[in-house]
Amino acid sequence: MADTNYPRAGKPAEASDLCDIAALENAYYELHPDPELEAQKVTFGTSGHRGSSLNTSFNEDHIAAITQAIVEYRSAQGINGPVLVGRDTHALSGPAQQTVLEVLTANEVTALVDSRDGYTPTPALSHAIIQLNKAHTTGGTRERLPENALVDGIILTPSHNPPTDGGIKYNPPHGGPADTDATNWIARRANELLGQGAKNINRLSLHRTAAKSLIRPYDFMGNYVRDLTKVLNLEAIREEGIKIAADPMGGASVKYWEEIAAVHGLDITVVNNAVDPQFGFMTLDWDEQIRMDCSSPYAMASLLESMKSDKYDLAVGNDADADRHGIVTRDAGLMNPNHYLAAAINFLYRVRGQWPVTAGIGKTLVSSSMIDRVAAGLGRELYEVPVGFKWFVPDLDSGSIMFGGEESAGASFNTFRGNPFSTDKDGILLALLAGEMMAVSKRSPSESYARLENRYGVSHYARVDAVATPEQKKILGALNAENVPGDTLAGEPITAKMTHAAGNNAPIGGLKVTTENAWFAARPSGTEDVYKIYAESFVSSEHLKQVQAEAQTLVDGLLKK
């Protein structure tokens, strides 16, 4: 909920809210990070390195060093095919893409860029990596790759972050986010390069880069849109005449929705096709910041307004790189991401008859336990992992799970035949799935979720943040479950105390405590001096508050030791 201190939450942005694009781009080139300052070093979180040129955390030096480090990493891993390079609509993504291309070309690495000179959603890049490595061809050019060559990708995006931010992500040959081993190596090497200056970074000027002819076209949009029939029942959406309003939120999916409608004959209206690096058309998020968060009712206020008419059966939104989804229905408005994940899982595992009966369901450990109950009702194994989509990639790739989803409105699932479609979060895919669910079940996704609550109980879920020093965050991230006191939580016996995820035994970087009808998880923020407490109760909203209070008391006590 919006804080009462932010009365403009959900209101249109004003001129005073907009950033100075010229200043942002000038700072990208003119400011140089101090490699001795932690705040100006390369740091890979769950979604790559992010920052702003204005505070010297995302500048030309960072991107050049990261790209050189990626070149060295992929060489050490024997990855010798082209690198797919894409960008979203943030102002810093264009300059950063040019820096990436200059470094790749200087290192004699071929780069594949969008053949339509457009923007590339994260899921389209992920899908392209998977398909090229499967077919060993370079899309429309059909040029054969070297024998045993593998492609990987770099995408320039800070996802839903404000217009002043930039971001860079690396996706290895499996198509999904790089794992911690890879990102730690890349970040460490990039910081070494920053400390050495530019002397060990190979780079060509823009003019010489073009002359090298190592930059080649790839039709990201055409290949992604065409292949949607392998993973979605678009025929059902078309035959039922489901009317969909799509809001790209000024992001990379803007042309994709038009193409999907045209190629597959769907009734999709793009309610806002504006691309503006200031994102001046946005309504303000909960804290009166411009943020393209499609899971926020404040950022999605315009799309919610469009559903008040009878023109559309469903409305969907994506963030700037389209790796997240927002689902709006007539009966419920903007769906809680946890609710939609549960409904989507229940639908998919019941209608995808070709999926292996042994395939499990992937969720992050801070996602709703409604998913646990749905999995049990389906007779499917639950695969619970730490926060971060990267943890799903090996099992989506192997077919051990068919679906992986996280509470922050990010998910993907495999094709009808059980093969990976995109191994990164795919907001376009999940948005279109909502249309398929309506067409096949004759119910909205929110109505389908209501049926789950009737069967499994009502979920009360919330997240709160608490202040923590960097030292306290380190303590929380290194907790041992044996040191957690107590044997009850909000009046129920504790059934588990976990510092490692049940699905893969990977460190949580925090703590999760469960009972029969409730749980909480606490983990430090990667970007702010706070820790996050996620909690859920299937008893009542009052019980949830009790869980939250006891959780904060317990964690605060651990941090004081």
Helices (H), ranges, 241-332: 254-264, 301-306
- Could you give the CA distance from residue 152 to residue 220 in angstroms, rounded to a whole number? 14
| Distance from the first to the final alpha carbon of the chain | 33
Answer for the pair 524, 531: CB distance below 8 angstroms, yes or no: yes
d(CA 482, CA 8) in angstroms, rounded, equals 46
Three-state DSSP class for 512?
strand
For residue 325, what is the enclosing H or E element?
Answer: strand 325-329
Which sign does the torsion angle of CA 395, 506, 407, 373 carry? Answer: positive
Alpha helices, H only, 325-418: 337-351, 370-378, 393-398
Q: Provide the b/e sequence for 65-81 (b: ≥16 CB within 10 Å).
A: bbbbbbbbbbeeeebbb
> CA-to-CA distance for 539 and 536, rounded, in angstroms?
9
Burial zone of 16 (CB within 10 Å; 0-12 exposed, 13-18 middle, 19+ buried): exposed
Tokens of 69: 């480090």
3-state secondary structure of 373: helix
Q: Tell me whether residue 422 is one of the annotated catalytic residues.
A: no
Q: What is the CA radius of gyration of the chain?
A: 23
Find where tokens 């781009």 sit: 25
Distance from C-alpha of 249 to C-alpha of 58, rounded to nearest angstrom:
23
In angstroms, the CA 176 to CA 153 distance is 9
CA distance 7 to 277: 25
Alpha helices in 271-322 (DSSP H): 301-306
Q: Which helix H or strand E contains 29, and what residues bound it? A: helix 21-30
**Catalytically annotated residue among 126, 159, 369, 441:** 159
> Which residues belong to the active site?
159
